[in-house]
């Protein structure tokens, strides 16, 4: 039997039902309700999230929890960081230099070792089964924190491949809180008005559309009507913010620091989105499922991640944004300590790592431990539910006191049996 994963095992079944569009209607922004100075202050203090999804499974042994000179340690050394006593893989030297800004969790112990189950479980926080589809973390944050005063969509996704409005991420919250995906960081197609349509014509068309939408919504569920209007409203917003996609205006020095590779370009664009006020920005990096040739695979992948990740964290710190932006970098699981016959590492949810920083997070520490060979967690194990509690608390959202309202049905925002990891939280 071939132990390698097949391409279809990694495909996310997400149909682009509503077409490419992005942005939340600015008519509800705080800037319309507050004095401009007050609105700007609110924007500065608004909490945001950068969620870096390492799709396929980054190896903890080649990143945040190295075990050199052991049976399963592999060929790479551990190097010291800017925090005495904390060592990471030599494949992340830039991140090692900014360890004072970072928090590593080395004691994740989750359940699913398949991509199809793990991706959804991890990004939903694995709440108890209540017969509904829970939202992904991005949709949850978009709902709980809102769009802020920017007039931009609360949840955007910069990714390789295609664009679209990914309504499935929102689960029972309704399609309005889905992700707006920018394929390869590019804006949706046909975003520029045709030369034959004047701005006045466009205003008239949209006034007519608003009337038609109101009639359409009368006999349909509220969530459907909201989503229909949302797609058009956000498209109009983005028509005014095409500068976010114009890479020719990016500082060449920034481009060089983040990297001219795909992940570097996408991370730099994510920083632009955060600076513009987007509440939740997700960035994907694909190709990490190293069942074969794991070490050469990580030798190629890790420097790109390290370059862009370290540049992002340093930039957020230099711009005084790190106290307001929660940054998380993780996969759906780690990789096996045991090296297989293809010189690869397989799926390993039993003992793996993630890294975070920013809003509400203590920095310059590593929480949790694994044994000498990295096979098992020897400290307290943390499931993804513990991380959701921790992240919500970092964003000043108390999961013990906050609930979703699913058509009159109260639902917890995080797993009832889990709790926040206090060692990771400020205060």
Q: What is the pLDDT of residues 351-370, one digit of tens each?
A: 999 999 999 999 999 999 99
Q: 84: pLDDT confidence band, cut at 50, 70 and 90?
A: very high
Q: How far apart (Å, rounded) are the C-alpha atoms in residues 64 and 61?
A: 7
Which pLDDT does position 30 carry in this prediction?
Answer: 34
Q: Percentage of the chain surpassing pLDDT 90?
A: 69
Whether the pLDDT of residue 78 is over 90: the answer is yes
**CB neighbours of 28 closer than 8 A, spacing ≥ 6?**
147
Domain ranges of the chain: 21-186+250-424
* Torsions phi, psi for 138 (to 5 deg): -60, -45
Whether the pLDDT of residue 4 is over 70: the answer is no
Q: 69: pLDDT confidence band, cut at 50, 70 and 90?
A: very high
pLDDT, averaged across the chain: 87
Which pLDDT does position 223 carry in this prediction?
Answer: 66
**CB neighbours of 366 closer than 8 A, spacing ≥ 6?**
64, 86, 103, 104, 105, 106
Other CB atoms within a 10 A radius of the CB of residue 407 amount to 10
User: Residue 143 corresponds to which tokens in the numbers above?
Assistant: 């709902």
Distance of CA 103 to the CA centre of its chain: 17
Other CB atoms within a 10 A radius of the CB of residue 112 amount to 18
Whether the pLDDT of residue 5 is over 70: the answer is no
Distance of CA 343 to the CA centre of its chain: 30
User: Residue 391 corresponds to which tokens in the numbers above?
Assistant: 């992240």
Other CB atoms within a 10 A radius of the CB of residue 346 amount to 20
**4 compared with 367, residue with greater pLDDT:** 367
Whether the pLDDT of residue 153 is over 60: the answer is yes
**18 compared with 263, residue with greater pLDDT:** 263
Which pLDDT does position 262 carry in this prediction?
Answer: 97
Q: How far apart (Å, rounded) are the C-alpha atoms in residues 9 and 312?
A: 31
Residues listed for the chain: 427
HEC sequence for the chain: CCCCCCHHHCCCCCCCCCCCCCCCCHHHCHHHCCCHHHHHHHHHHCCEEEEEEECCCCCHHHCCCCCCCCCCCCCCCEEECCCCCCEEECCCHHHHHCHHHCEEEEEECCCCCCHHHHHHHHHHCCCCCCCCCCCCHHHHHHHHHCCCCCCCCCEEEEECCCCEEEHHHHHHHCHHHCEEEEECCCCCCCCCCCCCCCHHHHHHHHHHHHHHHHHHHHCCCHHHHHHHHHHHHHHHHHHCCHHHHCHHHCCHHHHHHHCCCHHHHHHHHHHHHHHHCCCEEEEEECCCCCCCCHHHHHHHHHHHHHHHHHHHHHHHHHCCCCCCEEEEEECCCEECCCCCCCCCCCEECCCEEEEEEECCECCCEEECCECCCCCCECCCCECHHHHHHHHHHHCCCCCCCCEEEECCEEEECCCCCCCCCHHHECC
User: Residue 60 corresponds to which tokens in the numbers above?
Assistant: 């903890």
Q: What is the pLDDT of residues 169-193, one digit of tens each?
A: 999 999 889 999 999 998 877 667 7
Q: 386: pLDDT confidence band, cut at 50, 70 and 90?
A: very high
Strand partners, 52: 283, 329
Distance of CA 363 to the CA centre of its chain: 19
Sign of the CA dihedral with 427 first, then 126, 108, and 6 last: negative
Which pLDDT does position 171 carry in this prediction?
Answer: 96
Average pLDDT over residues 244-260: 94
Q: How far apart (Å, rounded) are the C-alpha atoms in residues 149 and 427?
A: 28
Q: 227: pLDDT confidence band, cut at 50, 70 and 90?
A: low
Q: What is the pLDDT of residues 264-306, one digit of tens each?
A: 999 999 999 999 999 999 999 999 999 999 999 999 999 999 9
**280 compared with 24, residue with greater pLDDT:** 280
Average pLDDT over residues 370-383: 98
Whether the pLDDT of residue 42 is over 50: the answer is no
User: Residue 116 corresponds to which tokens in the numbers above?
Assistant: 């199809």
Strand partners, 156: 180, 281
Q: Answer whether 376's CB lies under 8 Å from 72's CB.
A: no
Low-confidence winner among 2-6, 93-97, 239-243, 265-269 (lowest mean pLDDT): 2-6
Which pLDDT does position 26 carry in this prediction?
Answer: 32
Which pLDDT does position 384 carry in this prediction?
Answer: 98
Q: Answer whether 258's CB lies under 8 Å from 265's CB.
A: yes
Which pLDDT does position 25 carry in this prediction?
Answer: 33
> CA separation (Å) from 305 to 63, 118, 235, 296, 357?
10, 21, 31, 15, 16
Q: 195: pLDDT confidence band, cut at 50, 70 and 90?
A: confident
Fold of 21-186+250-424: Alkaline Phosphatase, subunit A (3.40.720)
Which pLDDT does position 9 carry in this prediction?
Answer: 44
Which pLDDT does position 20 carry in this prediction?
Answer: 33
**22 compared with 159, residue with greater pLDDT:** 159
Q: How far apart (Å, rounded) are the C-alpha atoms in residues 179 and 66?
A: 34
Q: 8: pLDDT confidence band, cut at 50, 70 and 90?
A: very low
**CB neighbours of 83 closer than 8 A, spacing ≥ 6?**
99, 100, 364, 365
pTM: 0.86
């Amino acid at each position: 039997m071939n132990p390698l994963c097949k391409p279809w095992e990694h495909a996310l079944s997400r149909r682009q039902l509503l077409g490419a569009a992005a942005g939340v209607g600015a008519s509800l922004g705080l800037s319309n309700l507050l004095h401009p100075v007050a609105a700007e202050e609110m924007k500065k203090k608004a909490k945001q999230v950068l969620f870096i999804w390492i799709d396929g499974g980054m190896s903890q042994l080649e990143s945040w929890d190295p075990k050199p000179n052991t049976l399963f340690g592999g060929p790479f050394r551990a190097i010291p960081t800017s925090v005495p006593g904390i060592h990471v893989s030599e494949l992340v030297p830039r991140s090692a230099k900014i360890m004072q800004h970072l928090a590593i969790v080395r004691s994740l112990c989750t359940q699913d070792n398949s991509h199809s189950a793990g991706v959804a479980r991890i990004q939903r926080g694995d709440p108890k089964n209540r017969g509904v589809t829970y939202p992904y973390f991005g949709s949850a944050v978009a709902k709980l924190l809102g769009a802020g005063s920017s007039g931009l969509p609360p949840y955007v996704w910069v990714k390789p491949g295609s664009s679209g409005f990914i309504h499935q991420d929102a689960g029972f919250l309704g399609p309005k809180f889905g992700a707006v995906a920018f394929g390869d960081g590019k804006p949706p197609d046909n975003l520029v008005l045709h030369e034959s349509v004047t701005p006045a014509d466009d205003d008239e068309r949209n006034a007519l559309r608003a009337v038609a939408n109101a009639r359409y919504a009368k006999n349909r569920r509220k969530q459907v009507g909201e989503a229909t209007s949302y797609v058009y409203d956000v498209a109009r917003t983005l028509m005014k913010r095409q500068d976010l996609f114009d890479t020719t205006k990016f500082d060449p020095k920034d481009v060089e620091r983040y990297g001219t590779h795909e992940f570097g370009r996408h991370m730099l664009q994510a920083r632009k989105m955060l600076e513009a006020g987007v509440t939740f920005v997700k960035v994907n990096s694909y190709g990490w499922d190293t069942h074969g040739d794991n070490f050469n695979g990580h030798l190629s992948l890790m420097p790109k991640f390290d370059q862009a990740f370290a540049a992002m964290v340093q930039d957020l710190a230099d711009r005084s944004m790190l106290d307001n932006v929660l940054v998380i970098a993780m996969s759906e699981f780690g990789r096996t300590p045991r090296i297989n016959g293809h010189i690869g590492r397989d799926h390993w949810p039993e003992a793996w790592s993630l890294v975070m920083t920013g809003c509400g997070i203590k920095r310059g520490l590593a929480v949790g431990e694994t044994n000498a060979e990295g096979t098992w967690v020897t400290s307290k194990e943390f499931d993804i539910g513990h991380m959701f509690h921790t992240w919500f608390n970092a964003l000043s959202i108390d999961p013990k006191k906050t609930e979703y309202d699913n058509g009159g049905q109260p639902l917890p925002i995080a797993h009832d049996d889990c709790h926040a990891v206090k060692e990771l939280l400020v205060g």
